[in-house]
Chain A
Amino acid sequence: MLSVSKLNIYYGESHVVHDAGFELGEAESLALVGRNGMGKSTLLKALIGMIPARRGTILFDGADLKDLPSFRRVAAGLAFVPQGRMIFPQLTVEENILTGLETGRYRSIPSFIYEFFPVLRDMKNRRGGNLSGGQQQMLAIARALASRPKLLILDEPTEGIQPSIIKDIARSLNELKKELNLAILVSEQVLSFALEVADRLMVIDRGRIVREAHKDSLNIDEVRSYLTV
């Protein structure tokens, strides 16, 4: 479904991601792990089109998304939950979710969203900016799901969130994955979370993907050595 090859991303003149390549099939899940500053966010942002990729291809269902604006990639079936959530602080919770309907694949907010995140229903008339970090994270996921994506991309969803909520989010993601036949690509520093939500792990180090394997066949200690400073 998603096939990335030889992707190179620059910030100005500094070369951040080198020849990144990986495959992700329908309903598969893949975690991208690595330390801060190794290029995780950069790679994910380039996939959704928030920053440009200079060379390489991003094939999604056979079409190259590399030079399309973000909203066309969302129309193609990608959805993005960014680092820091980036919900719309001045819009109400309900309005935030409504922005995700833009693709037209759902005509109104699908009922499963409030079933998975009942707290969002309770708060649907509050402004997004007044929610706690964990609630904002759920809102960002709900907003992304409202576009009915085939592939959900999450950038460090556990950052700045209390441990009990992290467990909730992992559980929700696993159930959503099954229920919606959703593929997931998630970047993480918390290895336990990555192992919980993903079938496969991929390690990024200094802008290069250095390991990629199914989590059962992976040498966890070696992965951990990439994550510790």
Chain B
Amino acid sequence: MSFDIAVTQLFNGVSLFTILLLMALGLAIVFGLMGVINMAHGELMALGAYTTYLTAKFFEEHMPSLMNVYLFFAIALAFGVTFVFGYVLERGFIRWFYNRPLDTLLATWGLSLVLQQTYRSVFGAQEVSVPLATWLSGAWTVSEGIQLPLNRIFIIGLTALVAAGVYLILHKTRLGLRARAVTQNRAMSSAVGIDTNRVDALTFALGSGLAGIAGSVFTMIGSTNPGTGQLYIVDSFIVVVFGGVASLIGTVFSGFAIAQAQTTLEYLMSGSMAKVSILLLVIVVLYFRPNGLFAPKMRS
């Protein structure tokens, strides 16, 4: 009996971990690597979610036979739409605020309000949700006491795939090398020949696209409304800051620590007390390690 509970708890922790990680990956690039405080990042997730909603509606009406696999198209489309949106956003808006963090904060917060109102006008204030593919509903019954929801298992697998993809892009491609160089020293990157404007735009677009994937996936576990993004943005920032800005590994570990702690505490106390305890823990850790868990240590 207690074994079953332990396994279920562990699974819940891993499940929450992948959700937090998926949420935080885009922000880890935009905020962690580029240093842009994008308060509208949550609205980019909502954009991905609404894209998924529209895709689902389209498949429902025109290709009902493919309803079981529409999610894959939706995820790809959500990435594409938010990637392009992020590219345009960086070129037309964000780049005018580089090196002005307070202005960025205000401007992107304003942008997030504009986007929320746009969603409200277009999709209405009420929640929308998408049908879950039949092969994703239900649970995998491991034993009598252990039932693992299939959609959570799907999210775990997808997050692993996305995280591996981000790692490969950043560390094995030319764009990744350029992006890491530019985020460390923009002026010097240009002086070794890197077209920094283009790299900025593509990096920001990549972070936005990841937000789109996250938003798309989250339609499987909750409904979408114009304020959905606000729910996600705070957790995303906590994960990135706790892990240490500019450290993707830190983001992974911080997501894991927060998720496991939260699910364990939720089992022992009420949900909101668990949340409070986590926030206190984060504050204490950041007090003693202001640069997060994985701050880089070296001479510059």
Minimum CB–CB distance for B244 against chain A, Å: 12
Q: Report A-chain residues with C-beta under 8 Å of the C-beta of B189.
A: 99
Q: Report B-chain residues with C-beta under 8 Å of the C-beta of A150.
A: none
Q: Which residue of A lies closest to B180 (CB)?
A: A91
Say if the beta carbon of B190 comes within 8 Å of chain A. Answer: yes
- The distance in angstroms between the C-alpha atoms of A75 and B180, with both chains bound, is 20
Within the complex, which residue of A70, A95, A129, A130 is in contact with B191, where a contact is CB–CB below 8 Å? Answer: A70
Say if the beta carbon of B299 comes within 8 Å of chain A. Answer: yes
Say if the beta carbon of A49 comes within 8 Å of chain B. Answer: yes
Say if the beta carbon of B195 comes within 8 Å of chain A. Answer: yes
In the bound complex, do residue B192 and residue A130 qualify as a contact, i.e. CB atoms below 8 Å apart?
A: no
Minimum CB–CB distance for B250 against chain A, Å: 13
Within the complex, which residue of B177, B191, B193, B299 is in contact with A50, where a contact is CB–CB below 8 Å? Answer: B191
Interface size, chain A (Cβ < 8 Å):
28
Contact with B along A83-99 (1 / 0, CB 8 A): 00010111100010011
In the bound complex, do residue B298 and residue A89 qualify as a contact, i.e. CB atoms below 8 Å apart?
A: yes
Say if the beta carbon of A118 comes within 8 Å of chain B. Answer: no
Say if the beta carbon of A186 comes within 8 Å of chain B. Answer: no
Say if the beta carbon of B164 comes within 8 Å of chain A. Answer: no
Minimum CB–CB distance for A61 against chain B, Å: 17
In the bound complex, do residue A88 and residue B181 qualify as a contact, i.e. CB atoms below 8 Å apart?
A: yes
Say if the beta carbon of A103 comes within 8 Å of chain B. Answer: yes
Q: Which residue of A lies closest to B187 (CB)?
A: A50
> Which of A88, A89, A95, A144 has the largest count of B CB atoms less than 10 A from its CB?
A88
Say if the beta carbon of A134 comes within 8 Å of chain B. Answer: no
Minimum CB–CB distance for B25 against chain A, Å: 19
In the bound complex, do residue B300 and residue A129 qualify as a contact, i.e. CB atoms below 8 Å apart?
A: yes
Q: Report B-chain residues with C-beta under 8 Å of the C-beta of A82.
A: 188, 191
Say if the beta carbon of A110 comes within 8 Å of chain B. Answer: no
Contact with A along B134-170 (1 / 0, CB 8 A): 0000000000000000000000000000000000000
In the bound complex, do residue A99 and residue B299 qualify as a contact, i.e. CB atoms below 8 Å apart?
A: no
> Which of A50, A74, A80, A99 has the largest count of B CB atoms less than 10 A from its CB?
A99
Contact with A along B256-300 (1 / 0, CB 8 A): 000000000000000000000000000000000000000010111
Contact with B along A35-74 (1 / 0, CB 8 A): 0000000000000111000000000000000000111001
In the bound complex, do residue B188 and residue A71 qualify as a contact, i.e. CB atoms below 8 Å apart?
A: no
- The distance in angstroms between the C-alpha atoms of A86 and B187, with both chains bound, is 10
In the bound complex, do residue B190 and residue A69 qualify as a contact, i.e. CB atoms below 8 Å apart?
A: yes
Minimum CB–CB distance for B197 against chain A, Å: 8
Within the complex, which residue of A49, A102, A129 is in contact with B299, where a contact is CB–CB below 8 Å? Answer: A129
In the bound complex, do residue B185 and residue A70 qualify as a contact, i.e. CB atoms below 8 Å apart?
A: no
Say if the beta carbon of A127 comes within 8 Å of chain B. Answer: yes
A129-B298, A130-B298, A130-B299 known; A88-B191 Cβ under 8 A: no
Say if the beta carbon of A147 comes within 8 Å of chain B. Answer: yes
In the bound complex, do residue A89 and residue B184 qualify as a contact, i.e. CB atoms below 8 Å apart?
A: yes
- The distance in angstroms between the C-alpha atoms of A79 and B195, with both chains bound, is 15
Q: Report B-chain residues with C-beta under 8 Å of the C-beta of A177.
A: none
In the bound complex, do residue A71 and residue B194 qualify as a contact, i.e. CB atoms below 8 Å apart?
A: yes
> Which of B180, B188, B194, B298 has the largest count of A CB atoms less than 10 A from its CB?
B188
A129-B298, A129-B300 known; A88-B193 Cβ under 8 A: no
In the bound complex, do residue B184 and residue A99 qualify as a contact, i.e. CB atoms below 8 Å apart?
A: no
- The distance in angstroms between the C-alpha atoms of A143 and B184, with both chains bound, is 15
In the bound complex, do residue A100 and residue B193 qualify as a contact, i.e. CB atoms below 8 Å apart?
A: yes
In the bound complex, do residue A49 and residue B188 qualify as a contact, i.e. CB atoms below 8 Å apart?
A: no
Say if the beta carbon of B41 comes within 8 Å of chain A. Answer: no
- The distance in angstroms between the C-alpha atoms of A194 and B194, with both chains bound, is 30
A99-B177, A103-B193, A147-B193 known; A89-B188 Cβ under 8 A: no
A129-B298, A129-B300, A130-B299 known; A90-B192 Cβ under 8 A: no
In the bound complex, do residue A99 and residue B187 qualify as a contact, i.e. CB atoms below 8 Å apart?
A: no
In the bound complex, do residue B298 and residue A48 qualify as a contact, i.e. CB atoms below 8 Å apart?
A: no
- The distance in angstroms between the C-alpha atoms of A74 and B178, with both chains bound, is 15
9 A–B pairs (Cβ distance < 8 Å), ordered by A: A49-B190, A70-B187, A70-B190, A88-B188, A90-B180, A91-B180, A99-B181, A99-B194, A143-B192
Residues of A with Cβ closer than 8 Å to B? 48-50, 69-71, 74-75, 79-80, 82, 86, 88-91, 95, 98-100, 102-103, 127, 129-130, 143-144, 147
- 12 further contact pairs, Cβ within 8 A, besides A71-B196, A89-B184: A71-B195, A74-B192, A79-B192, A80-B192, A86-B188, A88-B188, A89-B300, A99-B181, A99-B189, A99-B192, A103-B193, A143-B192
Nearest 9 A/B pairs, CB to CB: A102-B193, A74-B193, A129-B298, A70-B190, A70-B191, A86-B188, A80-B191, A71-B190, A88-B184
